[in-house]
Amino acid sequence: MGALSRERIVATAVALLDADGEAGLNFRALGARLRTGPGAIYWHVANKSDLLVAATDAVLADALAADTTGHPPREAIRTLALGVFDAVDAHPWIGTQLARLASQATTLRVFERIGQQVRALGVPDAAQFDAASALLNYILGVAGQNAANARSQPPGTSRAEVIGTVAARWADLDPAEYPFARAVAEQLRAHDDRAQFLAGVDLILAGIATLRPPS
């Protein structure tokens, strides 16, 4: 049957992570699925951290594959950001992984793609680094939050249910201490994560637009 290989190990790791989250990935379960022992896996993979990085890279490769040449920079950035968002949404365990920066190469690739478009936007040289960093940090922040939200609920629960529960909790907060959360509880109930994520990107892009020198 299939020979052991790094690709097969990483693919199986992704499957385990998707099924049971970060806790679902361990070398014994991995060995069972691959019909081998822990030792054999270590021949192809340095350690668990290495495996997690490889799994993150594998999943994010698709998100970064979208070709944006020819698109206006704003659209390219939105497409790229949504690609990352959708990847994290489909594989919540990536959120934690990205926040750990263990996958430096992947993070750098995202940063580079963003930076190229920031440059294309006509942002002054001196501000390009800050602008690209702000976008990257926002994207990674949302990734972490979304992953945490997904993890905080049993896998079967629907998103509407989850949001409804949180909205109810917000609406019940002390009005003196949490006026804002109470006020936006209804907006929380009605909101769409993806759209809100994009609204944040647009907000940063609007801020970046104010940096452009009058030509």
Partner DNA sequence: TGGCGCTTGGAACGGCGTTCCAGCCATGTC
Partner DNA sequence: GACATGGCTGGAACGCCGTTCCAAGCGCCA
Binding site for DNA (CB under 7 A): 3-4, 25-29, 31, 34-40, 42-44, 47-49
- The residues, ordered by sequence, that sit 6+ positions from 150 with a Cβ below 8 Å of its Cβ are 89, 92, 95
For residue 52, give the nearest of 110, 115, 95, 1 by alpha carbon. Answer: 95
The smaller minimum CB distance to a copy of itself, of residues 8 and 178, is found at 178
Residue 157 engages a copy of itself in binding (rule: CB under 8 A): no
**91 is written with which tokens?**
């594989």
Residue 162 engages a copy of itself in binding (rule: CB under 8 A): no
Number of residues in the chain: 215
Instruction: Out of 13, 53, 136, 167, name the contact with a copy of itself by CB under 8 A.
Output: 136
The nearest distance, CB 109 to a copy of itself, in angstroms, is: 8
Instruction: Out of 4, 15, 58, 134, name the contact with a copy of itself by CB under 8 A.
Output: 134
Q: Report the distance separating Cα 42 and Cα 20, nearest Å.
A: 22
91 φψ region: left (φ > 0), alpha (ψ -120 to 50), beta (else) = beta
Residue 68 engages a copy of itself in binding (rule: CB under 8 A): no
The smaller minimum CB distance to a copy of itself, of residues 4 and 120, is found at 120
Alpha-carbon distances, residue 18 vs 8, 64, 88, 141 (angstroms): 15, 20, 11, 20
DSSP 8-state assignment for residue 211: T
The nearest distance, CB 150 to DNA, in angstroms, is: 20
For residue 201, give the nearest of 92, 121, 109, 94 by alpha carbon. Answer: 121
The nearest distance, CB 6 to a copy of itself, in angstroms, is: 22
Q: Report the distance separating Cα 201 and Cα 199, nearest Å.
A: 5
If contact means CB under 5 to 8 A according to the sort of partner, which of a copy of itself, DNA, none does residue 136 touch?
Answer: a copy of itself
Alpha-carbon distances, residue 44 vs 11, 30, 34, 117, 131 (angstroms): 13, 13, 13, 37, 39
What number of chain residues touch a copy of itself (CB under 8 A)? 61
Mask 102-131, x = binds a copy of itself (CB under 8 A)? Answer: x-x---x--xx--xx-xx------xxxxxx
Interacting residue ranges for a copy of itself, rule: CB under 8 A: 95-96, 98-102, 104, 108, 111-112, 115-116, 118-119, 126-134, 136-145, 147-149, 151-152, 177-181, 183-184, 187-188, 191, 196, 199-200, 202-208, 210-211
